[in-house]
Structure formats: C-alpha cells, structure tokens
C-alpha cells in the first residue's frame, strides 16, 4: 500500500497575478501542500497553460482555469477586490476554508466574508508577512507608551500597478495605532495635506502614499516628539515573505471550525497583533 498523503490541498485564485505566481511556485515546492487548482478570470491569456510553467518553475500537471471551482482543503484568494464577495459565496457553498489576501475590499465583500464564516473558516489579512505582524504589536505598544505628546505619521510605498491606495497594510497599521492611542480612525486619520494653511493637528495621523516602479512594499511609521523620533519600518524585498505567510496560514486554517480567524494566530504570534 502507498503512503497516505498528509499534505494540505490548496486552490489558488488569482494565480496569474504578481502574488499568485509566487504562491503557485512556492506551493509547488512545499511538501506540506498539494496544489490542486490554479484559477484566474475567464479572459486571462494564461488560461489552459500549465500553472508551473506560468510561474517559471516547470510543469506541475495543473492547468490554469478561467473559473474558481473550490477544491482541496483551502482556497487562497489574491485576486481583485471586485471578486471577493463571489469567492466568499463559492467557498461557503463548497464548504472550503478560505484565506483572503486581496486588499481594497468593499463593505459588500466584508459582509460576504462574514456571512461565509458562518459556514466555513475564513481568514482575511491585509498582510501575511511575519515581520509586518510583529510591527503591529510594536506599534500598539509604542502608541500606548508615548501618548499624546508624540506626532504619528505613516508613509507607504508600493509598485506602480497597485490599484488601492493607501495600502491595506497602511490602513491596518493606522487602525492599530488609533485603537492603542484613543484616536478615531474616521476623524483623525488624514489622507492628504496640502494648501497654504494646512497645519498639523495634534491628533492627526497622516497616511502618505508613494507608487514606485516595481517596489514590493514598504511601510514606515513615525512617532516624533521634541528632539527625537522613533521609526518602525518594514521593507519588502520580495513578495515571497507575503506568499510564505499566506501558505502557512492556509495550512493552519485547514480543519478549523467555521468562523473568522486572525492572521496573528495563524503565524504563531499568539493573538491579535
């Protein structure tokens, strides 16, 4: 008798995108994962091509499909925000756990994912990097310890093709600081500062956005007071750190009961960052 496989079966949706191709490549090389499907949208020129060849790792016997058909134990979605609600519904119907790394999600998408969590385990994160999630924990402590006497500003940079701005990670970091410092995200977070009379208000938390070439991602959180400044900074040098975290989260989510889950738990950080 052959050995029973203990690998987690995974379907990748958005498989031909920048993150999707790295997910395919790394999943194909991971003995703890079994890549059972790679999906994109129907009009994609990569439909029908071997997913491994598409991801530049050689043939793996899995063809890129133009429609998501949830299969295996977990679906990983890194597609577009407009597709998230349909992905959530498809996974709920199929009984497939889903890991969502797509950013810029609408209120409708969040509602659909919350509804899907009544039937399957759902994990949504703006960033699957282990270091970024450690940064959340450090930001929370710094905001609480430094208090009102320190100005807080946030700068983010990504590649020129990124659709949403600011990044989901920047928004999540701002939310973390607001929760820890007593700020209101809706009232105190500023997305632009310009004009002849635009002084900084004491409770402001400004998010500045840069789009630069093929930059995989950078976030710098500043805490500045009289005569000194603290900077918490994450620089992504490759999308692999995000892909590795998402694949790790997929393994962790497989077999969990229905509900919404936190990326900090999946990455072994012991609770919400």
Alpha-carbon distance of 265 to 55, in angstroms, equals 29
End-to-end CA distance of the chain: 45
Helices (H), 50-208: 51-54, 84-94, 107-116, 130-146, 168-181, 185-188
Alpha-carbon distance of 106 to 124, in angstroms, equals 13
Of the residues 13, 136, 158, 219, which is catalytic? 158
């402590």: which residue's tokens? Answer: 141
The pair of three-digit structure tokens given for residue 134, joined into one six-digit string: 């450690």
Residue 162 among the catalytic residues: yes
Residue 219 among the catalytic residues: no
Run of H or E residues at 77: strand 74-77
Of the residues 136, 162, 219, 251, which is catalytic? 162
Catalytic positions, written as ranges = 158, 162
């Amino acid at each position: 008798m052959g050995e029973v496989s203990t690998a987690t079966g995974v379907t990748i949706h958005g498989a031909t995108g920048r993150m999707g191709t790295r997910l395919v490549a790394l999943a194909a090389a991971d003995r703890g994962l079994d890549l059972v499907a790679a999906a994109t949208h129907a009009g994609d020129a990569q439909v029908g091509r071997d997913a491994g060849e598409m991801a530049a790792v050689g043939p793996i016997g899995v063809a890129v499909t133009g429609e998501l058909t949830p299969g295996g134990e977990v679906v990983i979605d890194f597609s577009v925000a407009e597709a998230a609600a349909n992905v959530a519904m498809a996974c709920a119907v199929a009984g497939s756990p889903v890991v969502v790394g797509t950013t810029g999600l609408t209120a409708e998408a969040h509602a659909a994912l919350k509804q899907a969590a009544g039937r399957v385990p759902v994990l949504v994160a703006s960033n699957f990097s282990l270091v970024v999630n450690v940064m959340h924990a450090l930001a929370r402590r710094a905001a609480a310890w430094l208090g009102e006497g320190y100005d807080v500003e946030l700068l983010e940079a990504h590649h020129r093709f990124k659709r949403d701005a600011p990044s989901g990670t920047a928004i999540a970091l701002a939310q973390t600081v607001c929760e820890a410092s007593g700020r209101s995200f809706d009232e105190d977070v500023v997305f632009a500062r310009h004009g002849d009379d635009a002084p900084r208000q004491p409770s402001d938390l400004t998010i500045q956005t840069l789009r630069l070439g093929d930059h995989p991602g950078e976030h710098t959180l500043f805490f500045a007071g009289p005569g000194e400044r603290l900077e918490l900074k994450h620089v992504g040098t490759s999308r692999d750190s995000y892909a590795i975290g998402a694949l790790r989260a997929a393994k962790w989510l497989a077999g969990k009961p229905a509900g919404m889950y936190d990326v900090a738990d999946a990455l072994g950080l012991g609770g919400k960052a």
